[in-house]
Amino acid sequence: MTAAANVTETPVVRAPSAAAQRLRTVFRSLPVLAQYLISIAVALTLCGILVEVTGGSASKVMSALLDGSVRSPGAWGLTLSTAAPLLVVAAGTIVAAKAGLSNIGQEGQLLLGCAATAFIGTRADLPAPMVIVLSFLGAMVLSGMWAGLAALMKFTRKVPEVMSTLLLGFVAAQLTTFGLTRKWLLLATNNTSRVNNGEPLPDRAKMPTFTLFGNEVSWGVIIALVVTILISFVLRRTTIGFRLRALGHNSRTARRAGVSAAIVGGGALVVSGAAAGLAGGLWMTGGSAGDRFTTNVSSNIGWQGLLVALLARDRASLAIPMAFVFAALRTGSSFLAATGVDRRITDVVQAMLVLALLVPPAIASVQRRRRPRGGSA
Amino acid sequence: MTIATEGVAASAATPSVLLTGITKRYGSVVACNDVNLALHPGRIHGVLGENGAGKSTLMKILIGLIQPDEGSIVINGGTVRISDPVAASNLGIAMVHQHYSLVEPLTVWENVVLGERVRLDRAAACARVAALSDRYGLGVDPLARVSDLTAGQRQRVEIIKCLRREPRIIVFDEPTSVLTPAESEQLFSVLRVVVVDEGRTVALVSHKLDEILHATDEITIMRGGRVVGHSPTSAATASSLAQAVVGRPVSLRSEAAALGLIETVAAAIGDSDAPEGVPDAVVIEAAPVVLEVRNARVLDVDGHPLLDDFSITVRAGEIVGLAGVEGNGQRALADMLSSLLDLESGSVLVSGEEVDLSRPGALGRVGIGIIPEDRHDSGCVLDLSVAENLALTDLGAVSTGGLLDRRAIERRARELMQAFDIQARSPHAPMRSLSGGNQQRVVLARELSANPKVLIAAQPTRGLDVGAIEYMSARLRAAAEAGVGILLISTELEEVLTLSHRICVIHAGQIVGEMSRHDANLERLGMLIGGMAA
Amino acid sequence: MSAFAVLGFGGSIFDVLSSKSTYSSTMRFAATLVFAATGEWIAERAGTMNISLEGMILTAAFTSALGSDLTGNVWIALLFGIAGGFLIALIQGVMSHRFGANQFVVGLTLNVLAVGITAFLAAEIDPVVTRAGIIRVPLLSRIPLIGEALFAQAWLLYLLYPLIPLAWWAVYRTRWGLDLRCAGENPQAADVSGIDVNKRRRQAVYVCGMCSGLAGTYLTIGQVGSFGADGVSGRGFIALAAVIFGGWVLKGAVGGAVVFGFFLAFGSVFQALGYDANPQVLGALPYVMAITTMILFARRGRQPASLGRPFVRGLT
């Protein structure tokens, strides 16, 4: 962007920019894999520097993270189980993204899903699998409707869904806090704690586990995989998925071809909300979240699931390993106390990874799209 | 190649622009191949060639939007590198763009001073705009908002914007494509002033033989990225130029429209032997009306009418040409007929049945096909494959029970690619990878394969080369012969005159005149297009 | 019964509106929003839908606390705050307008990054904040009802008074502002006119970052007096809503920010006046009002034509 023949700028100002330009040219000429590796290395190095500057040891942190997530006994089973809700959130986010819509209110939608699961799970007097099915359905309906509000506002009043989904998240937080003040909603009947807590979930409302190579793995992992594969299949192989993708890529052509943005796009938002609700159900019943509903039970699962989708660049197949990586950072962070480094360093690592991995595809996409088509024969 | 090259070099002293050996490649495509061009002060230099010949690329190199791979640029005797438009501007080179270079929500004076480096001074800027407007007789109000101006007025703003820095070298890129015939005349008289009285250098880029012959002093012809001819205008004839442009002997009669020979087109109208495929007027008058738009009123977001009391009918097998200068409601009409815009009042009837436009794709379902003006906007999905684009409007045919039948999609794509001669690596190639002409064929194939009752073709040949234009025209004629009613929306008068049985003229969102092909005369059409009653 | 309830409610609203403290609190809450909305307005006029606004405010809220902790000097804290906002803006600007990454994705990630990094650093450092002093402007602060609100505040708030006209002047009356508006409306046209579109967009994001820096600093040093991770809690997004509410016109955005400030302040004022209301209803009020105003007004405004779209030369 610098001008060689441009006489109005002084060379002093231009020099660093020219160097940056050269650096960029070199970076672009590298193979894609090298670009990714360099980006990740830069991100992790920055995180390492952050740890060192604040008096920690980057290598100890790394080691603790690995112990907590995969190396210690039973760890990877826990990591897999934690990955399940992340993956489901991501899968739902991908549905909305493919339709060209940005749902960023998963945290609130997931919280409502947790609330619905807790409400139904503590009350429904049904045999084991039915309670779970019913509570998950309730979670999906409630969260789906919550996202549906955003869809309604978008397609009747043109309220940007980026804003509405997020702001509705704050309202959802207040709603569940309110629920925790009323015994007929979420508050435990014999709450003795100073903070309001929910009723503990009975065992029949908890997700069962199976044992795999000595690790306890939640059945939620299977549910998450099935949901992800199903969503991927619908998007690729069905007419509704085709319409949705067409809408996401070019809404005007899609409308001309008979795709209703309100129905298909609104539906995609509702599905992404319902997925966040289901993830809430998985999280609530999976054990890691504790056994009862609290105001901060969702603990960033929604945000992290969203990051997984961003990191996977809206591809379901990539979301699966990414969800595992994020889950590993989460479970690994519980081992950080021993190193004296605050566990929230893993939040930083997650965000830095996403930022780093944005760079190579962005550059590639610009290059691909910039290359003009040949003669117009 | 048949044109003499001697005699020009001697006529002027040092050229103000000397391009030598300019080459620009995009992957395997060579947009400019070893191009030499010399422009001289005080002369209008025509750069003639069909779309895709490389003339736009060459001019973009000259104004710094594109960097050449090889070759040298010498401006007023000094070798330079033109890295961006600012650099070009500093060298005294400016361009009057065909499209998209004005910012609509801003006023004229703000647009004119855009890109300058000096302090913003509204009073001085307005005074300068008024002075330039007076000097060239352009009649532009510096305080007007650009969004309120007509296409012709906007181009005059472009010209002022270009002249404000007193450039020595001016490039006009297809300047008449948005002008009425009268406005074109006025433009060329301004060009004369700029060149003769002020000694500037002008390059006029065009694919229209007529205006190149009419307005220039010397001509360079490009084809396939190369310079294939060069001559003084006085030594050129329409047939020699046409042959050089297309690269083979051509009949001026049959390809007049594609070459931009309005006079030839007009002369042919009176002749008894109408072009092939044009059925007898009597037959058409008896055919049923397939599309009727009644008193349509369409508003833009600010509530201004885009179409106002607009009515038109199309009969089966009839080609109705809708002539008019760009920006008079054609886009709104095409959008409305793609069910992208809803009617404020009025109605649209297909085969006598009223259609509810508020439902997406409503008109597609009742048999209206459309080739939109901007295929990237509403004609195709660039990020889907060719096969998927071909299946877009008719998913029912390639699916069972909501599941896509991928083999059926591919089979259908292969059939259509063959039938419409679509050049693509495979049916799964992304739409984005296709050339403009092939993308247009994909849209055409999809729309015609749905067996529509009516086909709306909005600027169907814009940006295509002569061969592709001919192909498109032949397809439209064949469709009409097969009984499809065709509404041809075009700003190219030549095209409308060649193809249509009946011609309507749109101005300010209304039909202002209508005539059958046999009664058409250029003078009356020109006046109607300019909004004058005739 | 219900008639009394309505009467009682109407009376309480009247009390709220006639109380001086309402206006003072509103301004205290609104100031953060106004600083941020002004910056966001500039970024959006240049074509960036800058949703990392939240992260910018949060980062600045922390860095200003850090500056205050290190020196105890409000000016230094202010510099730190501006630098913090600028840092996030730098990443946002370079990633989205140099590397061409999707600006929403970058913004979203930066918000998450800001939450993580400030929470992490706050846990490691735990800064102690020295508040900015309250300055009563003579005479002006005696204006009935609104005098104290406008002229008896922490002095950081007074930075708003030059900032708003300055922002207006820069966008509408300078060459830079003209370039910027073109970059937001029609980047192709700006480009062929010789304007470096992405540079202007980056600069607008940087300005937005610095304004958010003021917002975050005011929040920590001027209003709250400490850094809390959930202190920002969606204010960036409410400021974004204010820009939409204002129809991409500065005075509308500022007005919207003040209105939303009122709803943020409403809960504390309402309870301070002795009225009882459900705390969750009061807590949800600002968000509900932000949503409601967008429902009412989002259709009305004319957004910059190229808002949210990346610009790459020669790219369609």
ipTM reported for the complex, 2 dp: 0.89
A to C CB pairs, distance under 8 Å:
148
Mean pLDDT computed over every residue of chain A:
87
Q: In terms of DSSP bridges, do strands B201-206 and B169-173 run parallel, antiparallel, or are they unpaired?
A: parallel
C82 near C60, Cβ under 8 Å? Answer: yes
Edge-to-edge strand list for the sheet holding B226-232: B93-96, B169-173, B201-206, B44-48, B218-223, B226-232
Q: Can you tell me the mean pLDDT for A183-201?
A: 84
C184 near C306, Cβ under 8 Å? Answer: yes
User: How far does the CA of residue B392 sit from the closest CA of chain A (Å)?
Assistant: 6
Closest residue on chain B to C306 (Cα): B103
Where in the sequence is the domain holding C180, given as residue range(s)? 21-229
As a residue count, chain B comes to 534
Is position C218 within any domain? yes
Percent of chain B residues past pLDDT 70, beyond the cut: 93
User: How far does the CA of residue A369 sit from the closest CA of chain C (Å)?
Assistant: 6
Give the model confidence (pLDDT) of A64-91 as tens digits.
Answer: 988 888 888 888 889 999 999 999 999 9
The two tokens of residue B55 are 């003339």
Does residue B374 or residue A139 have the better pLDDT?
Answer: A139
Contact C188 B89 (CB under 8 A): no
Give the model confidence (pLDDT) of B209-266 as tens digits.
Answer: 888 888 899 999 998 889 998 999 998 888 888 888 888 777 777 677 777 777 777 7
Give the model confidence (pLDDT) of C220-261 as tens digits.
Answer: 999 888 898 777 888 999 999 999 999 999 999 999 999 999
CA B47 vs. chain centroid, Å, equals: 17
Task: Return the CATH class of domain B1-92+168-236.
Answer: alpha beta
Q: Which of A134-143, A234-243, B49-58, B416-425 has the lowest mean pLDDT?
A: B49-58
Contact A166 C234 (CB under 8 A): yes
How far is it, in rounded angstroms, from Cα B461 to Cα B373?
9
How many structural domains compose chain C? Answer: 1
How far is it, in rounded angstroms, from Cα B248 to Cα A94?
53
How far is it, in rounded angstroms, from Cα C170 to Cα B202?
37
CATH topology classification for B281-383+447-529: Rossmann fold (3.40.50)
Using a CB–CB cutoff of 8 Å, tell me whether C299 touches chain B: no
Q: CB A337: neighbour CB atoms within 10 A? A: 12
Closest residue on chain C to B101 (Cα): C189
User: How far does the CA of residue B421 sit from the closest CA of chain A (Å)?
Assistant: 11
**B534 pLDDT more than 60:** no
Is position C11 within any domain? no
Question: Counting Cβ atoms within 10 Å, is residue C203 exposed (0-12), middle (13-18) or buried (19+)?
Answer: buried
How far is it, in rounded angstroms, from Cα A325 to Cα B283?
72
Task: Find all residues with CB under 8 Å of C279, minimum gap 6, and list them.
Answer: C267
**B1 pLDDT more than 60:** no
What is the pLDDT, as a whole number, of residue B280? 55
Contact B85 C305 (CB under 8 A): no
**A172 pLDDT more than 90:** yes
Q: Please give the helix or strand (H or E) that residue B346 lies within, else none.
A: strand B345-350
Give the model confidence (pLDDT) of A22-51 as tens digits.
Answer: 777 777 777 778 888 898 999 999 999 999
Those chains having 3 or more beta-carbon pairs within 8 angstroms of chain B are A, C
How far is it, in rounded angstroms, from Cα C124 to Cα B30?
60
Those chains having 3 or more beta-carbon pairs within 8 angstroms of chain C are A, B
Is position C276 within any domain? no
C244 near C294, Cβ under 8 Å? Answer: yes
Residue type (1 letter), C112: V
Q: Domains of chain A: which residue ranges?
A: 84-302
Percent of chain A residues past pLDDT 90, beyond the cut: 52
The two tokens of residue A209 are 């586990």
Residues of A in contact with C88 (CB under 8 A): none
User: How far does the CA of residue C299 sit from the closest CA of chain B (Å)?
Assistant: 10
Contact C192 B95 (CB under 8 A): yes
**A18 pLDDT more than 70:** no
Contact C280 A160 (CB under 8 A): no
Write a three-state SS string for C104-133: HHHHHHHHHHHHHHHHHHHHHHCCCCCCCC
User: How far does the CA of residue A36 sit from the closest CA of chain C (Å)?
Assistant: 14
Q: In terms of DSSP bridges, do strands B319-323 and B485-490 run parallel, antiparallel, or are they unpaired?
A: parallel
Q: Can you say whether the dihedral through the CA atoms of A87, A90, A94, A95 is positive or negative?
A: positive
Residues of A in contact with C291 (CB under 8 A): 153, 159, 163-164, 167-168, 171
Using a CB–CB cutoff of 8 Å, tell me whether B80 touches chain A: yes
Give the model confidence (pLDDT) of B260-317 as tens digits.
Answer: 777 777 776 655 444 444 555 556 778 899 999 999 999 987 788 899 999 999 999 9
Contact A160 C294 (CB under 8 A): yes
A295 near A176, Cβ under 8 Å? Answer: yes
What is the pLDDT, as a whole number, of residue A155? 93
Residue C4 binned pLDDT confidence (cut-offs 50, 70, 90): low
**A376 pLDDT more than 70:** no
Q: Can you tell me the mean pLDDT for B451-475?
A: 89
**Residue C153: strand, helix, or coil:** strand
What is the pLDDT, as a whole number, of residue B273? 46
What is the pLDDT, as a whole number, of residue C148? 83
What is the pLDDT, as a whole number, of residue C7? 56
What is the pLDDT, as a whole number, of residue B150? 79
Q: CB B69: neighbour CB atoms within 10 A? A: 14
Mean pLDDT computed over every residue of chain B:
86
**B7 pLDDT more than 50:** no
Contact B403 A237 (CB under 8 A): yes
How far is it, in rounded angstroms, from Cα A103 to Cα A106?
7
What is the pLDDT, as a whole number, of residue C18? 79
Is position C189 within any domain? yes
Q: Domains of chain B: which residue ranges?
A: 1-92+168-236, 103-166, 281-383+447-529, 384-429
Give the model confidence (pLDDT) of C81-99 as tens digits.
Answer: 999 999 999 999 999 998 8
Those chains having 3 or more beta-carbon pairs within 8 angstroms of chain A are B, C
**B533 pLDDT more than 70:** no
Report the residue from B379, B395, B437 with minimal CB separation from A239: B395
**B461 pLDDT more than 70:** yes
Report the residue from B29, B365, B404 with minimal CB separation from A237: B404
Give the model confidence (pLDDT) of C151-191 as tens digits.
Answer: 888 899 999 999 999 999 999 999 999 999 999 999 988 98
**A169 pLDDT more than 90:** yes
